[in-house]
Structures are given as structure tokens and as C-alpha cells.
Amino acid sequence: MKKLLIFSSLFFCLACTKKESLVIELNPTDVEMVIQQMTDVMIHDLTNPPLAARFFAYSCLAANEVIALHDTIIMSMYGKLNEFPNIKIPKGGTEINKDIAALLAMYETAKVLQPSGKLMGDFEDKWIDSLLKKGVSKEVMDQSHAFAKEVSLQIVKYAKADKYKKISALPRYTPKKEEGTWYPTPPGYFPPVEPHFNTIRSFTLERADQFRPEPPIPFSADKKAPFYTLMNEIRELNLDDEKKEIAAFWDCNPFALFDNGHLLVGMKKISPGAHWMGIANIACIQAGISFSRAIQVNTVLAVGLMDGFQSCWDEKYRSNRIRPETAIRKYLDPKWTPFLQTPPFPEYLSGHSTISSVSSVILTHFFGNEFAYTDTVEERYGLKARTYSSFEQAAEEAGISRFYGGIHFMDAIENGQIQGHVVGKHVLQTVFN
């Protein structure tokens, strides 16, 4: 009996001294943090635009599924996206913080998929340490982390089955030698980016050419031909300071090079998809939405970016259209140069126009037609913020910026915007049907 009393007293004392865990709820700024860290790693890795969208999508999907397992308001993507798995609920754990687990699932997925994933692991470790110092118990952290890892493993398995890794085994793309077709451009003369991106599994499209756009205006060097007019429109453009500012703001060219007189140096810019992910989180923070809803916004947008790029890239390598820089130099003015550096892939459709319109459709769904905001995404890269009255206004400016930059013809911009609206609406209908 005496031993029993001693044991009971000891248990009581231990229970009394057990440290309570800080109850923490995350907010959209935490989502913004991880998206920015992913973007930083993408800049480090020179991640191309379609691949960047792929990384964002799978990482956000991991977070979304963690939330969906705990929150009936946020739905799972099971039954919505192509071949998406029915996520199995990890066993054990009664002290899981769903918000912490969701963000950790993003980290866990990103650090596996991104080439320099170790950097994401470093960011993750620092964030975990910061929460422990704030008062989150090790038990809550460990259980939340274990839960996140189990969900992430299932998403990574889903990602690895999308056939992206099989692209390297496909025949290398060789530029066509026909008049009016794409050819590598200066200063880097890079090989074409992701010519087989249309072969991987999309999220909502039945196939990459499900919404095949109107074909480009046919190439012709005849001065009376519509294509000749397209070339002249760009060459004769009066590029004032405002147009230059717009072109630079939306450049988002990870392949841009700077010639310092001795060698070409990479300028380390974000991708257009990363820019729109940044805009999404500006909106999430400004609107004061919950952490869970911010995860959903980021997830649906990233899915839209992925399918938007796939739809656009399918057309790029079908039409294989010549870039303005190559065409104008050959047929109009051999000394002409565009304001922006030409990205390394065919001209039609405009990728910026397509994915910006996809983004505007999706963000308008969440925040409304007249959501005014100031875009500060490019400030950290030395560019001034710009203010917009709506996402549609921003998307239209992003599209025309490619004309100002001298890297797209107008039909590629206008039809890219149409394509983006079609894909964006399809994504919303698929996800929320």
C-alpha cells in the first residue's frame, strides 16, 4: 500500500509539471513564407516555368490534403484531379496540430521534388526550431511532423507517377529548318525548354490539347501579308518609360543573362508562376482569410498554373513559331533588338498571357471581380510595386508586357489570354463541381 501511495504521488507530480504546449494557429503569412522559400530555391536552381508550377502544385496539394483530413470545409482533391489518390489517414497521434502538419507537408514534399531540396530542409528545420522556442511542445511537433511525412509520401508517390521523369528518355527536340519556325536566340542560345511537357499527366485536362487554340497567323515575308504587319507592329512600337517599366515588371525570365563584358552571368529572376503565387498570398493576407483557406487558394492556383502551362506548351511545340527577334532581324532590320531577352522556346502561344489569365480567373473566383491590391512581389528583386484594380487588369498588363518587351506577336498574346480563361474556368469547374 505504501509503495502504491509513493507511485501515485510521483505520477501526480509529473502530471503537474508537464509543460503545456502552446496552442498555435497559423495564418496566410506562413503560407507566403514557404512559397517564397520555394521560389528562392527555384531561382537558385534556374527552375524553368512549367517545372516551377509542377513543384508548387504538388507541395500545395500535400498541405491541402492534411487540412482536408481535419477540416470539412476544405475538400480533398480525391475524385477531382486525374488519378489523385485517396489519402490514407496516418495512424496514431492525438496531439496533432493540423496547421503545423500542413506546412510541414509542404516542406517535406518540396524538399523531395526540388533539385536543391536540402535548402528546403534547412528552412524546415529553422521553422521547427522557432516554434519549439515559442512554446510548441516536442510531442505536438513530433506527431504533427510524422503526420505530415505520411501524407507527403503519398503525394510524392502521386507526383512520381506523372511521367515527368520519362521525358529525359524521349528524343531530343531539334529545331525545324523551315522558314518561320523557332530557332535558339541570343545571348544564351539555350536549347528549348520542356518540349515534351505535354506528355505528362495533367491535373484536370483530359489531354494537353483538350482546348486547342486557334492557330497562329501563318508566317510570310510578303509585305502585304498579315504576319508582316505583326512584325512591323513590334519594330515600330514607341517604347516609352511606362512601357519599359511594365515590360520589366512582368519579365520573370529565369534564363535572363547579363553581359559584363567578359562573360554572361545569370540574372536570377523568378518564374511567371512564382509571381502569381506571390500575388495570391498578397490577396490572402489582405483579405484576412484563414490559414486553411489560404492553403486552398494556393493549391487551386498552382493546379491551374500547371495545367495552363501544359496547354500552352502543347501549342508552342505544335506551331513551332519563330520569335520576333529572329524574324525582324532576318526580314526587316538586322540590327533590331528586343527590350527583353527572348525566352528559349517557341513563340505561340504567349505563356505569360495564358497563365496570367488562368490566375486571374482563379483568384477572381476567391476574391471577387474588383479586388484592388498592390503587387509588391518584385520589390525584393529591385523593381517598384504596381497597383491594380483587379486581377484581370493585372493579367491584361502581364500579357501586353510581352509585346512591349519585343518577345511576342499580338496574336500570341490575345489568343493566349483566351486560352487562359478557358483553362482557368475548366479548373474551377473540375475542382468545385
Residue with cell 536570377: 268
Cβ proximity of 143 and 94 under 8 Å: yes
For 65-170, strand residue ranges (E) read none
3-state percent helix, strand, coil for the chain, nearest multiple of 5: 60, 5, 40
Q: H or E segment at 39?
A: helix 28-45
- Tens digits of per-residue pLDDT, 226-251? 999 999 999 999 999 999 999 999 99
Question: If pLDDT is split at 50, 70 and 90, which confidence band does 10 have?
Answer: very low
Confidence of residue 7 (pLDDT cuts 50, 70, 90): very low
Comparing 10 with 124, the larger pLDDT belongs to 124
Band (pLDDT 50/70/90 cuts) for residue 25 is confident
Instruction: Evaluate if residue 11 carries a pLDDT over 60.
Output: no
Predicted confidence band at 12 (pLDDT cuts at 50, 70, 90)?
A: very low
pLDDT score, position 258: 67
Question: For the chain, which domains are there?
Answer: 24-163 (no CATH), 197-432 (1.10.606.20)
- 3-class secondary-structure state, position 264: strand
Nearest to 228 by CA among 409, 415, 413: 409
Does residue 420 contact residue 353 with C-beta atoms inside 8 Å?
yes
Q: Which of 322, 352, 169 has its CA nearest to residue 249?
A: 352
* Nearest-angstrom CA–CA distance, 151 and 162: 18
- How confident is the model over 249-295, as pLDDT tens digits? 999 999 887 666 556 666 778 999 999 999 999 999 999 999 999 99
For 319-370, the pLDDT digits (tens) are 999 999 999 999 999 999 999 999 999 999 999 999 999 999 999 999 999 9
Name which of 342, 351, 344, 349 is nearest 319 in CA terms: 349
Q: CA 380 → CA 36, 171, 256, 279, 391, distances in Å?
A: 11, 39, 17, 14, 21
